[in-house]
Structure 1
Amino acid sequence: MWRKASVAALLALAVGYLYYGCPELPEQLLHYIGPTGDQSSQQSQQHLEQVISDAWDSLIKLPTRQWSRVAVGVNACVDVVVSGVGLLQALAVDPGSGLDHEVLHSKEDLKEAFIHFMERGAAAERFFSDKEAFRRIARAAAEYPGAKLYVGGNAALMSQKLATYPDLMVLLCGPVGPKLHEMLDEQIVVPPGSLQETDEYHLILEYKAGEQWGLTRAPQANRFIFSHDVANGEMSTLETFVASLEEFQPDLVVLSGLHMMEGQGRELWEERLKEAVAAISDIRHDIPIHLELASMTDKDYMNSIMQEQVMPIVSSIGLNEQELLFLSQAGGGPHAQLPAWNGVPDVGQVSDILLWILERHGRADPSSEADLTRVHFHTLAYHVLATVDGHWANQAAAVMAGARVASSQACGSAVVDAAKVELKAPRSFRGSHSEPLAALSLDPAAPVTAWRRGNVTFHMTPVLVCKEPLRTVGLGDAISAEGLVYSELKSRLPY
């Protein structure tokens, strides 16, 4: 009864806001909220989600100055998407207990790692060391009933999303084989030096919310990715990518694929990371660089990226809840003692880590020479954009745009369908776990909450989570790409 009354009260507040506080919103929003507040909880909840969706559509606007040419590199592949439980059963492995492996060496390692993340409902990516064993598994996956082939790799996926904007020219550099080249949007430019004779394949083992295998039950839909991918693992096209920028003349560079080097062993990644930093440093300083992070397990490798190597020379990063917590654990940041998130990540704890990143490794420290001024965080229930004041504009629209595309793409639709999504974000929260900040709340009619800590501004918006997602792969890449499209760089740091 209390919950029903609370929802009714929240909806009543939304009506008041619609009438008095936000006149630019369309009047048709009002019919989603009954004047008496006596609808059933299910109807009220669906109405609430429709209000949020329609508010997004009304409030999200492109920035005044938009990107015209974006260069993206350097990981690309063909994704083979298949039922994780179905494939493992076809490989004649029995269910059992889960165990994480930094590198997979066998079918047994694959099964244990898959179960480990499935029982947590968490996404992960691992390197499979045995080339021949991987080929046998890949063949079985491609032949499995219902298996589907898609464009894969963070760079290629972000390119595909960016290419949906007709006025935006996109360059993609990565190991592009014939099958992938055929699947790419015709608007995407691929430099000749990036083409190769064979494709790299990644296997995407998906599972549904509530799906069970043995004693393991998935709390939510997600996927486990693995591959034996040497070209992407060595970032073999990075130098080709940087060399192509002089002719292409981008106004934004998007970089991904660093996580692929981790599985190649310390000796290789130590040397290759130095070469990567040297190559990235050759990019003109007036061109902003966005770094898209992905799942990693080696704390030394993550520390090299953070402290000594890559993070200080990029302007923006995108990451999810696992990557955020691991980054803090590797660097001794806030809440590093947490072994994992317990359910929906606490907004205040997320805010603490984001602030630490921008102060320790970015420009939030006035004495720092680092370029990093923006972090785009995404998790299933909500997104947060944290930016150092004075460098980025239109970030409220950017974070809402990222959440909107997560909702629609997961359900496989062009727009958000309120009947197919549900609100899982906290209705009230605190902007810090370590500081005594005032409580904040979600307003469905203006679904972005902003707060400041020092010279960093945070924008948070809920995600309308798809109840029956059709595909979870690539959501993070679509979120980051969409957020970048709606972002405006106000200034560049001086040399």
Structure 2
Amino acid sequence: MWRKAVLVALLAFGMGFLYQTDPELPARVLNYVSQSLPHLEITASSEPHPQALEETIARAWQSLISAPARRWQRVAVGVNACVDVVVSGVGLLQALALEPGSGRDHEVLHSKEDLKEAFVHYMGKGAAAERFFSDKEVFQRIARAAAEYPGAQVRQNLKGKELYVGGNAALIGQKLASNPQLSVLLCGPVGPKLHEMLDEQIVVPPESLQENDEFHLILEYKSGEQWGPSQAPQANRFILSHDLSNGEMSALETFIASLEEFQPDLVVLSGLHMMEGMGRDLWEERLQEAVVAISEVKNEVPVHLELASMTDQDYMNRILHQVMPIVNSIGLNEQELLFLTQSGGGPHADVTSWNGVPDVGRVSDILLWVLENHGRSSPQSEADLTRIHFHTLAYHIMATVDGHWANQESAVAAGARVASTQACGLQNVDISKVLLKAPLNFYSSFSEPRENLRVDPTRPVTVWHRGNVSFHLTPVLVCKHPLRTVGLGDAISAEGLMFSEITPTSEL
């Protein structure tokens, strides 16, 4: 309590001094302080502290989020699935007798030193990344060290090892299966350990079952965690694997063949990023086959593509030009969005990395560019892409071409809400465990003409329009001490899809 008293005394003294120099200045300062105080996280006392904005937003979401008029009944998800071993990244690297040093990105990891440099590179940015480890024997040694690491997070299987459901498709399928009214088909390399951990409601075609599981190592780090000179600005994770089944998208043909019998009303595709580590010869051929396979999905069934971390600009550019125009919806984060515009020569491609919270105007510019150049923003366009679900730590944006999607206000809010609850490991938002980091005032574009917009906490979805594209933004109540970061993007996209509705006119 004495800290509060000292703070009040200092403010009073300062106000008196300011009044002598400028009688109008104290009012302006008080206005600024009143707007800033809700964002301050006070930890000096154990007494409860009201978080007015966070509580207002959480309550507003409750009344704002409503189910779509027409819900999905059957969703098919593919094609990457695996078993995750989750450990402290710094702890594992120390267990491997690695010393902290400078960071450096690697498209493919060939050694423990490459792993260390890539981990440090992304930890320093607080960014998620995923890389293929080329040396099978070295990867297996790292995997054994991870399995023996005492801090590994656990979910028991028959042998008592430390495992989680992993892979974008499997994670999205798990989240969708939490809706008891939804039938979910999952295609991917499903081994015995993964199969037993999947929700009973998920249908796995017999052709997707394999004798052995694919393992991915999830190296997590906490906000503020330090290793040598590197410090993480926010919690996140680095993923590595030596995964040939997912890397070759071996389940793709099984996935497409299963759709005829399952008859889904929504298809979710992920795993393209896994092919990047297999080399150009493989991904060039398989990407063409993926395009053919996606084109075989019935026109009236929307297809959502979930992106993930990549480093090869040529590969991303191929996805941009060949895959995105034939899907209806995509989900991605701030790293993937920036790499997308860098690869395709879009707006703000000269930005090397986001500095803190990504600028809303820049994000809006890139989303519009994707829909205008590779989507169906023009009625004359033959592309199918009409929806982008963008998520970053502080806020989410849903960008949709008018006339194709409904209930997007609820969808973007539902995605933000699940980001808060799942990161904290809760069923509902606990305002004592979250923090508002989103800008409450922002511009609709980085350049003119642009609107000056604001977030109204009592109805926390801000809407603006650019041509025939509508943008819905909502802040995220960021978990202060997340229990787990892997799979958050998949949960966000799945939740957003569950609350989205494709309009009848867009199905014609």
TM-score normalised to the size of structure 1?
A: 0.92
Describe how 1:261-410 pairs up with structure 2 within 5 A.
261-307=275-321, 309-410=322-423
Do the aligned partners of 2:102 and 2:117 also contact (CA within 8 Å) in 1? yes
Counterpart Cα distance in 2 of 1:138 and 1:277: 34
Q: Of 56, 75, 79, which residue of structure 2 is paired with 1:51?
A: 56
Residue in 2 aligned with 1:87?
92
Structure 1 residue 46: Cα displacement:
1.1
1:484 equivalent to 2:497? Answer yes
Q: Is the 8 A contact 2:445 2:451 kept in 1?
A: no
Q: 1:133 to 1:434 in 2, by over 3 A?
A: same
- Two-structure CA RMSD over aligned residues (Å): 1.7
Q: Is the 8 A contact 2:398 2:471 kept in 1?
A: yes
Count residues in correspondence: 466
Contact 1:158/1:477 (CA < 8 Å) preserved in 2? yes
Partner in structure 2 of residue 21 of structure 1: none
Task: Report the alpha carbon displacement of residue 86 of structure 1 after superposing the two structures with TM.
Answer: 0.4
- Are 1:131 and 2:165 an aligned pair? no
Single out whichever of 371-380 and 139-148 deviates more from structure 2.
Answer: 139-148
Partner residue in 1 for 2:236? 222
**Displacement of 1:45 after TM fit?**
6.2
Cα 1:404/1:7, change in 2 over 3 Å: farther
- CA distance in 2 between partners of 1:322 and 1:366 (Å): 30
The one of 154, 171, 177 equivalent to 2:168 is 154
Q: Partners of 1:129 and 1:48 in 2: how far apart? A: 48
In structure 2, the residue corresponding to 1:277 is in which secondary structure?
A: helix
Paired AA for residue 410 in structure 2: A
Q: What are the superposed Cα offsets for residues 336-370 of structure 1, whole Å, 9 maximum, x if unpaired?
A: 00000010000000000000000000001232100
Question: Is the Cα–Cα contact under 8 Å of residues 403 and 505 in structure 2 kept in the other structure?
Answer: no
Alignment of structure 1 residues 454-493 onto 2, 5 Å: 454-491=467-504, 493=506
What is the aligned partner in structure 1 of residue 443 from structure 2? Answer: 430
Q: CA deviation at 1:279?
A: 1.1
2:127 paired with 1:122: yes
Instruction: After TM superposition, give the deviation of residue 7 of structure 1 in Å.
Output: 6.5
Mapped contact 1:121–1:221 kept (Cα < 8 A): yes
Task: Give, in whole Å, the separation in 2 of the partners of 1:3 and 1:313.
Answer: 53
Q: CA deviation at 1:3?
A: 7.1
What's the CA shift for 1:265?
Answer: 0.3
Q: Deviations over 1:276-300 (max 9, x none)?
A: 1111111111100000000011111
Structure 2's unaligned 5+ residue stretches are: 1-10, 12-27, 39-44, 154-162
Match for 1:244: what amino acid? S
Q: Which residue matches 1:76?
A: 81
| Aligned-partner Cα distance in 2 for 1:56–1:43 | 23
* Structure-2 separation of matches of 1:435 and 1:412: 42
Q: CA deviation at 1:437?
A: 1.8
Distance 1:11 1:66, change over 3 A: farther
Q: Answer whether contact 1:371 1:493 (CA < 8 A) is retained.
A: no
Deviation (angstroms), 1:11 = 11
Q: Name the residue aligned to 2:218.
A: 204
Aligned to 2:208: 194
Partner AA of 1:86 in structure 2: G
AA aligned opposite 2:380: S
- Percent pairwise identity: 74
Write the distance in 2 (CA, Å) between the matches of 1:331 and 1:11: 41
Matched residues in 2 for 1:451 and 1:99: separation?
39
**How far apart in 1 are the matches of 2:386 and 2:50?**
37
Structure 1: gaps spanning 5 or more residues: 13-39
Contact residue 8 and residue 44 of structure 1 kept, 8 A: no
Whether 1:236 aligns to 2:250 is yes
After TM superposition, give the deviation of residue 434 of structure 1 in Å: 2.0
CA distance in 2, matches of 1:187, 1:4: 55
Q: Between 273-282 and 456-465, report the one with greater CA deviation.
A: 273-282
Q: Say yes or no: does 1:166 pair with 2:192.
A: no
Shift, 1:48, TM fit: 1.4
Other-structure match for 2:20:
none
Q: Is the 8 A contact 1:95 1:214 kept in 2?
A: yes
How far apart, CA to CA, are the structure 1 residues paired with 2:421 and 2:377? Answer: 34
Residues 434, 43 of structure 1: alpha-carbon distance in 2 compared, 3 angstrom cutoff = farther
Q: 1:242 to 1:229 in 2, by over 3 A?
A: same
Q: Report if the CA contact (8 A) 1:203-1:225 is conserved.
A: yes
Q: Distance in 2 between matches of 1:264 and 1:47?
A: 50
User: Following the alignment from structure 2 to structure 1, what is the Cα–Cα distance between the partners of residues 48 and 443?
Assistant: 28
| Contact 2:374 2:385 (C-alpha < 8 Å) held by counterparts | yes
Following superposition of structure 1 onto structure 2, how do residues 96-115 of structure 1 map, counting pairs within 5 Å?
A: 96-115=101-120
1:467-488 residue CA offsets vs partner (Å, 9 max, x unmatched): 0000000000000000000000
Write the distance in 1 (CA, Å) between the matches of 2:111 and 2:65: 47
Aligned to 2:272: 258
Change (3 A) 1:45 1:267: farther
Looking at CA atoms only, which structure, 1 or 2, has the larger radius of gyration? 2
CA distance in 2, matches of 1:88, 1:4: 48
